[in-house]
Chains A and B, each alone.
Chain A
């Protein structure tokens, strides 16, 4: 079957098997390997992308279901050559080690901050609770997202003054 969608702002149309999952569509069909494939059971969260601005686990979404929708992946986080603050935060605060869970973490973190620019620690933990990191023990991930929130708050104050 043929499927068309917007991926990181680009319109794409591909011929696929109807059973193809969105994660494989992004990785194998489009070569966007920043989105990782992990548990295949909607648990680990390394495959999280946005569909119409909502984080979804792309191993549990058929590519066909994404047809006509706007998909955003980790490759689409950077804006005008600038790293997104959540990307900077994860680097500054060592929010990753092997990095395999990181793309999914970043997409969820970005979605959280878009809705709630100054989340509490509990709200951050809640937002990430559906994803697994096996390296860090999570503490630095919380710090990374706090760093991004503070950075954006400072930038907002700066631009308002």
Chain B
């Protein structure tokens, strides 16, 4: 056990301990879902739509069924008797398209065969006859008057207060009249009264691209349906929510469905909610054998992407640069099914106007159905879309007002404890101090050669943590070792280590005696989601309570076996100090109380919306970023020479892991700022592969990285912790766009800032100017 050094308050928390999952991951022993095999297992491959929007006239499966090795070909009509849709907000997502297809790549049939190769061979022999329907391929087309509807029917929302499955046929909703899947608004004050009296009104428009999270392990699942019980191993960030969808599909009790998530090969939000699990599950239900379904990268890209967005911002300022009003309109292209986009757009509304004092505000966000691949969560969750436009708007205002943009932020940033959403938790961070850290680092390390170079910063605040429902269990064994049970999924972020550190800290035991088991709906504790950067804070709080519960029980048991009062027993390492100077270990307590070399003591921790977590959001996740960019004027290529991140995390349980999260998030954000964009050409994507969809590679690593932590113990989580992992991504595209504008003298109207786009910004001018500099003073 480490000793406390001067200034240290914790034995395990706050130390960069070796993560326990790393040893398995460097030896190749770590098991990912794609590694799982079951005896008697069949393999599924998916027949996918070759149309963006079309009526399915007929499907002929006979040729495919006759092929060697093929066991079954399943189409929508084979799912009669099931509730054959899913969706945790709106159950609009058909497992297999029935009646019509809504996007190119949508599952139409499942081929199940003895081998993956045999299933693949049979795909082309499933003959689907389509009758084309007019398609809407962008949000603009989908919002046009008289646009064809992607969904004719309005599905009822899932009743989150009821655990009972929605009965088949019971949700026949009203007919829809538009393609708006969800609308969210936020308003206070009177923005309209401000525009005429403002010293400056600055307006801009930014396009945020469709993105693919590209978790390197593609979506996959193994399902086994047997005797009214369903077991699924899957690449699911939220196994408990996937279980809920599966139970509804098969009308099974929640307890009869088990979903397990082993190590995930990346998630970043893209493995949130139900994806491929229903396909594998119905295949097993039809064949009576375990079925494995592994998507390739192209299929994964068509399964989920991030919402693209068109964001229009108008801000009013007084002559001192104080924000008087902001009005923001967000339109997201959410693709063919809602998935989590209603929540993404709602969060984008909350996160778009920044952590500033905004006395008058009006924000409208719309999530729009189109005939493109379904969009859902991706790291940052609505924040990057809104922040790109909001922060570049602020920078343009600084130009106009003649005020340095850091100074403009100083004048408008909220102070610790101040609300940015009325009635919600005040900001639990010191943003002005974070800002000075970025400004200082950029200044200190500014390159001597300033030609074609500019630095820029941007910031954001996200209402993070999601709804506080968490549980944790600790089981103290007869030898004093500890098992922690949690439903939070380890997908690389290091939760297995953070939870072990918290348990060791609370129980005063050595880290090596703690084993954390995660994400098995039949065996571990419940966790609502692994997202919104919540695990350290919310699961951590539940775990602290579980440890206190176990300690309380152990203390009473120690008093009983030693014949003293519990009040006379004091804490000591891995056990208790008894009256008279003796100590007793947890293992001895367990063994003595049960009277054999056996037994265990279980502690349970429950967290809901009360006490420290009564106010929403549970915490604010801060993004505070600086970049220094140099542009090659000949090619338009951007080299990121400086990257500055500030992780305002309250308290870093594992500082090395937190810095790693920030660097990873910033790098993904740079991908979006510089290269990443899914592009449709007609009904299908032009670049659904990682050759043409360019993610950051080794040579894109920034020249200098300053990764800093701000630990002010101002979070509600254990030891003052707040979550991290998304913050560094959210503002980075805005910072890069600003740096480019500072170098070339014109504002871009979109990211990614590919060399071609930058080159055009440098070299093209005139009436066809498509840049986003719409910041002329408002007339009248």
Q: Which chain A residues have a beta carbon within 8 Å of chain B's beta carbons?
A: 17, 19, 27-28, 32-41, 43-44, 46, 73-75, 77-78, 83, 87, 90-92, 94, 96-103, 106, 125, 128-129, 131-142
Contact = CB atoms under 8 A, between A and B. Distances in A.
7 contacts: A17-B117, A28-B37, A73-B28, A90-B26, A97-B494, A129-B697, A137-B701
B26 A91 contact: yes
Contacts of B491: 98
Contact of A100 (B22, B265, B701): B265
Interface stretch (B124-132, B340-348, B688-696): B688-696
Contacts of B657: 94
Interface in B666-687: 666-668
B193 interface: no
Given A99-B26, A137-B667, 5 more contacts: A39-B689, A92-B18, A98-B263, A137-B663, A137-B701
A134 B698 contact: no
Name the 7 nearest CB pairs between A and B, nearest first. Answer: A34-B28, A98-B492, A99-B25, A100-B265, A137-B667, A97-B492, A33-B35
Nearest to A144: B26
Interface stretch (B212-220, B281-289, B528-536): B212-220
Interface of B: 18-19, 21-32, 34-35, 37, 117, 214-218, 263-268, 296-297, 491-494, 656-657, 660-661, 663-664, 666-668, 689-691, 695-699, 701, 705
A38 B18 CA distance: 27
B231 to A, nearest CB: 20
A125 B696 CA distance: 13
A83 B23 CA distance: 9
B18 A91 contact: yes
Given A125-B699, A132-B216, A87 B493 contact: no
A78 B27 CA distance: 7
Contacts of B117: 17, 19
A132 B24 CA distance: 20
A134 B30 contact: no
A139 B664 CA distance: 9
B690 A100 contact: no
A94 to B, nearest CB: 5
A41 B690 CA distance: 8
A131 to B, nearest CB: 7
B494 A138 contact: no
B18 A100 contact: no
A138 B701 contact: yes
A40 B296 contact: yes
Contacts of A101: 216
Given A38-B217, A43-B691, A102 B25 contact: yes
B492 A140 contact: no
A136 B661 CA distance: 7
A142 B698 CA distance: 9
A139 to B, nearest CB: 6
A32 B34 CA distance: 12
B265 A138 contact: no
A46 B263 CA distance: 16
Given A43-B690, A125-B701, A100 B27 contact: no
A92 B26 CA distance: 11
A112 to B, nearest CB: 12
Contacts of B217: 36, 38, 98, 100
A93 to B, nearest CB: 9
A47 to B, nearest CB: 11
A78 B23 CA distance: 12
B691 A41 contact: yes
Contacts of B660: 94, 97, 135-136, 140
Contacts of A37: 34
A41 B689 contact: yes
B18 A74 contact: no
B26 A106 contact: yes
A34 B23 CA distance: 12
A12 B443 CA distance: 60
Contacts of A40: 296-297
B27 A74 contact: yes
A120 to B, nearest CB: 14
A92 B19 CA distance: 9
B216 A131 contact: no
Contacts of B701: 125, 137-139, 142
Contacts of A35: 28
A100 B28 contact: no
Nearest to B654: A94
Most B C-beta atoms less than 10 A away, residue of A41, A129, A134, A141: A134
B686 to A, nearest CB: 16
Contacts of A140: 660, 663
A103 B697 CA distance: 17
Nearest to B728: A137
A75 B28 CA distance: 6
A102 B689 contact: no
Contacts of A83: 26-27
B115 to A, nearest CB: 8
Given A132-B697, A137-B663, A94 B23 contact: no
Contacts of A103: 28
B265 A137 contact: no
A97 B217 CA distance: 13
Contact of A36 (B265, B695, B705): B265
A55 to B, nearest CB: 15
A96 B26 contact: yes
Contact of B266 (A75, A90, A91, A134): A134
B707 to A, nearest CB: 9
A17 B267 CA distance: 33
A97 B493 contact: yes
Most A C-beta atoms less than 10 A away, residue of B24, B663, B691: B663
A8 B88 CA distance: 46
A97 B266 CA distance: 8
B26 A94 contact: no
Contacts of A99: 21-22, 24-26, 30, 263, 265, 492
Given A40-B296, A99-B265, A75 B664 contact: no
B22 A91 contact: yes
A73 B27 CA distance: 10
B296 A100 contact: no
A20 to B, nearest CB: 8
A136 B662 CA distance: 9
Given A97-B660, A136-B664, A87 B26 contact: yes
Given A98-B264, A98-B491, A140-B660, A134 B689 contact: no
A135 B266 contact: yes
Contacts of B24: 99
Contacts of B265: 36, 38, 98-100
A133 B666 CA distance: 13
A33 B28 contact: yes
